[in-house]
Amino acid sequence: MRTLFRLFVIVPIAIVLLMFAFANRHLVTVSFDPFAGNDIAGPAIRAPLFIVLILSAGVGVILGGVAAWFKQARLKRAVREAQAEAEEARAEAARLRREMLVNPPVRPLAASTSSALTVRRDAA
């Protein structure tokens, strides 16, 4: 299975990256100066274009992974809280079942047509 993954996924990606690197070998300047054109030159890096693009994509993947990790941490916390709440509900349901077996509920008497208490009027 791992060999098939390497053959069908990793190898084509490597070939595409190599072709991209050979096609974009010229040097570019990446400037980190927010106020270009001033007397003082800001920090700048001169590197081949393919390195700049691949590093930018790598940094983006890492930052996206960190953001997803933080979101998953929040969701995992919510899942743990929901599981704890569900466990409390199960425990309470089990306690109530045991209580029902020990002390069954008292059923109300069936309603009869004649009442035991009747009001009589004296005919005087």
- C-alpha 52/C-alpha 46 separation (Å) is 9
Please report the pLDDT score of residue 2 as a whole number.
75
pTM (global) more than 0.85: no
Are the beta carbons of 16 and 26 closer than 8 angstroms? no
Q: What is the DSSP string of 57-85?
A: HHHHHHHHHHHHHHHHHHHHHHHHHHHHH
Q: Which residue has the tokens 């800001």?
A: 42
From first to last of the 124 residues of the chain, give the pLDDT tens digit. Answer: 778 877 888 888 889 888 988 888 899 988 887 776 766 777 888 999 989 988 999 999 999 999 999 989 989 999 999 999 999 999 999 999 998 888 887 777 766 555 555 556 665 5
Quick check: helix, strand or coil at residue 40?
A: coil
- C-alpha 49/C-alpha 20 separation (Å) is 10
Name the CA radius of gyration of the chain, rounded. Answer: 38
